[in-house]
Amino acid sequence: MFLKRSLEERVEKAKRNQEELNKLIEAYKPFIASILHKKTGKFLEYGYDDELTIGMMAFKEAIEAYDKSRGKFLTFAKHVIILRNIDHYRKNEKLKDKICLQEISTGEDDRESNAMMSKAMKEYEYEKENELRKLEILEYKKELKKWGIEFSELVQVSPKQENLKKLYKDVAQLIITEPEMLNRLTSVRRLPIKEIQRNMLVHRKKLERGRIYIIALVIVLIGDYEVIKEYIN
């Protein structure tokens, strides 16, 4: 039954059960060794190399601090393992010859430990945000193609001047707040230039030059693109 549960479920159970905790650490010793091998370039051996002992300590710490609502456990654990070993190298002369797994919660300054975990959480959140940004851009590219717009084309026509960017953003905001305008745009896939000019003093040629950019903004504003919206704002 232990192996059939998802990793995140096993982590939650390991928080409450010492036997499950030991099993989980033992099962992921190869994972810990792989991370540290890639970072140090050395082939490490359990029982001889401090890096692996500290890696197991960090893995246990990650289990205790993990919140399953944050996503994948292994991504978070990886950050904690790396950060703990960086700290180990910085304070090498202060370490004892051997560090037992059972001693993870003793002899460490709580503020330093909290700072390390805070840094790991920030890096984890940053990585999650990057993943979300990549997914949003992929979906955005697909949506643009439905409108006959290539992402590379959008990059080329994006205005360099801030005042022009603001103008086009105001036009896009106008369109999404006027149901008739928005309906016309989405139904015929054309910019409602005459309707825009009735509401804003802007030259027709300027609107025509900014057609692709304005439509692209509207797609973002009416779609589920939270990260891209934040970037635009």
DSSP 67-83: -GGGS-HHHHHHHHHHH
What range defines the domain where residue 56 resides?
Answer: 7-130
Indicate whether 136 belongs to any domain.
no
In a domain, 215, yes or no: yes
Tell me how many domains the chain contains: 2
Locate 93 and state its tokens: 């002369």
Indicate whether 21 belongs to any domain. yes
Residues 188 and 85 in one domain: no
**Do both 124 and 151 map to the same domain?**
no
Q: How far is the C-alpha of 209 from the C-alpha of 219, rounded, in Å?
A: 18
How would you write the pLDDT of the chain (233 residues) with one tens digit per residue? 334 467 888 888 888 889 888 999 898 998 898 888 877 777 888 888 888 888 999 999 888 888 876 668 888 888 888 888 877 776 665 444 433 333 334 344 555 555 655 666 666 666 666 777 788 888 899 999 999 999 888 889 899 899 999 999 999 999 999 999 999 999 999 999 999 999 999 999 999 999 999 999 999 999 888 778 877 76
Do 18 and 89 belong together in one domain?
Answer: yes
Domain assignment of residue 202, yes or no? yes
Classify residue 141: in a domain, yes or no.
no
Do 102 and 12 sit in the same domain of this protein? yes
Q: How far apart are CA 213 and CA 193, in angstroms?
A: 14
Closest CA to 149 of 100, 217, 99: 217
Query: Rounded to an integer, what distance in angstroms lies between the CA atom of residue 17 and that of residue 109?
Result: 25
Domain identity same for 18 and 109: yes
Q: How many CB atoms lie within 10 A of CB 96?
A: 9
